[in-house]
């Protein structure tokens, strides 16, 4: 067993940290306040090769592993969780299913465009009436000649409106539950595909979250991903890895809050000494650091398992569950360490606390992670 990162992974961490601290962090608070997505940050990530970290070079990637990928999401989220999820949704949710289930033409076209960052990706599974219960979705796809005609709507879509490539799930057989779902690659600009409401959110406010509307939207038959009826399996397998991307986002948010709390505790004096020297505060910091480290180990382990081609679904659900809950606890405690100042926008910890909450909700709520883990335990 070796817990040491490779030289390449260490170099990537340093590169992403420098980029995050110098080019992402300085505008994070302002973009949060203005609810503004900044495409130029994504373009710079593309220049650094981050948009295609785990994909082979022939598909436009840099041929690194999933551990490198989670390190990148973690480092970005340490300063800006919105930027972290932009990359996580782009790689885990939009690119991964094409890499795993796409035919050669789809990979050479769509995966290549995503990996090089020429285009931004999104993943559209959730609907107004179908969040946790995916199989109850109502968007339909009916075959008509050489096209599938999509009707319905999707909600909460990360990168929605900004992305050019969408993985969309719809029912090709309304009478079947999960077995009637198929997956499609839908391009922005396809007639009948438009964007609805943009959500106003508590956190990750510079990550756009948008409704997608399909009205007689004709998608070429060749844009089906996998086979008809395979959509649910594709969606679930995609989420198996995606959940670890969110775990990495949670680790980054928690680490950012912890770093800020440690610095503040060393500087802030009350009762004649730094509050870090009050045992009540130092014990708090010790618990926070321990939980962050445990979350990181679960996250890196799940990524390592995927890189080795070993089963990683349960590990990924566990990392997302534990890291999400940790991020919420650690950011709440960080605000506490800052006292009244932590409750203001003068410091980043209130943003970290607002951002942390989503990691317990999306890519399957933490109740759903428990359900997934519980089912796997009883199947084993």
Answer yes or no whether residue 241 interacts with ligand FAD by CB under 6 A: no
- Which residues from 151-170 bind ligand CAA, rule CB under 6 A? 158
Q: Please tell me whether residue 134 binds ligand CAA under the rule CB under 6 A.
A: yes
**Catalytic position from the list 74, 363, 367, 380:** 363
363 is catalytic: yes
Task: Report the 10 Å Cβ neighbour count for 322.
Answer: 21
* Residue 359: C-alpha distances to residues 12, 15, 110, 251, 366 (Å): 24, 25, 28, 10, 8
Token readout for 347 is 């410091």
Distant-in-sequence contacts of 28-34, Cβ < 8 A, 24+ apart: 28/79, 28/80, 28/82, 28/83, 28/206, 28/348, 28/351, 29/345, 29/348, 29/351, 31/80, 31/82, 31/205, 31/206, 32/82, 32/205, 32/206, 32/351, 33/205, 33/345, 34/206
Q: Which of residues 188-207 bind ligand FAD (CB under 6 A)?
A: 201
The one segment of 28-36, 52-60, 125-133, 340-348 that binds ligand FAD by CB under 6 A: 125-133
**Does position 123 bind ligand FAD by CB under 6 A?**
yes
Q: Which of 82, 158, 255, 331 binds ligand FAD (CB under 6 A)?
A: 158
If one asks whether residue 264 binds ligand FAD (CB under 6 A), the answer comes out as no
Q: What is the closest distance, in whole angstroms, from the C-beta atom of residue 374 to ligand FAD in the complex?
A: 10
Residue ranges of alpha helices (H) inside 61-184 are 66-79, 81-88, 96-101, 104-106, 112-115
Q: CB of 112: closest distance to ligand CAA in angstroms?
A: 22
d(CA 93, CA 25): 24
Residue nearest ligand FAD by beta-carbon distance = 131
Q: Can you read off the two tokens belonging to residue 189?
A: 């600009």
**Which of residues 336 and 365 has its CB atom nearest to ligand FAD in the complex?**
365
Of the listed pieces 23-31, 99-107, 152-160, 278-286, which binds ligand FAD according to CB under 6 A?
152-160
- Using CB under 6 A, which of 120, 217, 239, 334 touches ligand CAA? 239
Choice from 45, 125, 305, 317 touching ligand FAD (CB under 6 A): 125
Residue 289's contacts (CB-CB under 8 Å, 6 or more residues apart) are 258
Enclosing H/E stretch for 299: helix 279-307
Handedness of CA 349, 355, 359, 360 (dihedral sign): positive
Instruction: List residues with catalytic annotation.
Output: 363
Residues that bind ligand FAD (CB under 6 A): 89, 123-126, 131-132, 156-158, 201, 209, 358, 361-365, 367-368, 371
Residues that bind ligand CAA (CB under 6 A): 85, 89, 93, 123, 125-126, 132-135, 158, 178, 232-233, 236-237, 239-240, 246, 313, 362-364, 368, 371-372
């Amino acid at each position: 067993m070796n817990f040491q990162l490779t030289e390449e992974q260490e170099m990537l961490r340093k590169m992403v940290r420098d980029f995050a601290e110098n080019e992402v962090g300085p505008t994070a608070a302002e973009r949060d306040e203005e609810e503004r997505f900044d495409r130029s940050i994504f373009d710079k990530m593309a220049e650094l090769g981050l948009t295609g970290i785990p994909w082979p070079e022939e598909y436009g990637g840099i041929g690194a592993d999933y551990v490198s990928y989670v390190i990148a999401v973690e480092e970005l989220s340490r300063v800006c969780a919105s930027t972290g999820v932009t990359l996580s949704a782009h790689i885990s949710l939009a690119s991964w299913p094409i890499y795993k289930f796409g035919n050669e033409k789809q990979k050479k076209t769509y995966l290549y465009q995503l990996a090089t960052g020429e285009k931004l990706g999104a993943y559209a599974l959730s609907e107004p009436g179908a969040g946790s219960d995916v199989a109850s979705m109502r968007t339909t796809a009916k075959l008509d000649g050489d096209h599938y005609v999509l009707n319905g709507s999707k909600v909460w879509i990360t990168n929605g409106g900004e992305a050019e490539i969408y993985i969309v799930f719809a029912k090709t057989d309304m009478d079947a539950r999960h077995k009637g779902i198929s997956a499609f690659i839908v391009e922005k600009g396809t007639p009948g595909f438009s964007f609805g409401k943009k959500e106003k959110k508590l956190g990750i406010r510079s990550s756009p979250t948008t409704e997608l509307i399909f009205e007689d939207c004709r998608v070429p038959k060749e844009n089906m991903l996998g086979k008809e009826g395979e959509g649910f399996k594709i969606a679930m397998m995609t989420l198996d890895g995606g959940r670890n991307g969110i775990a990495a986002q949670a680790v980054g948010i928690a680490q950012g809050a912890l770093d800020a709390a440690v610095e503040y505790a060393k500087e802030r004096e009350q009762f004649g000494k730094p509050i870090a020297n009050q045992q009540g505060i130092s014990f708090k910091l010790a618990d926070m650091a321990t939980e962050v480290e445990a979350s990181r180990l679960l996250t890196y382990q799940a990524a390592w398992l995927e890189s080795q081609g070993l089963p990683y679904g349960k590990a990924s659900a566990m990392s997302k569950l534990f890291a999400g809950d940790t991020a919420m606890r650690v950011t709440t405690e960080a605000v506490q360490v800052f006292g009244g100042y932590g409750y203001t926008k003068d410091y980043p910890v209130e943003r970290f606390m607002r951002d942390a909450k989503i990691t317990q909700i999306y890519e399957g709520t933490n109740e759903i992670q428990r359900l997934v883990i519980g089912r796997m335990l009883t199947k084993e």
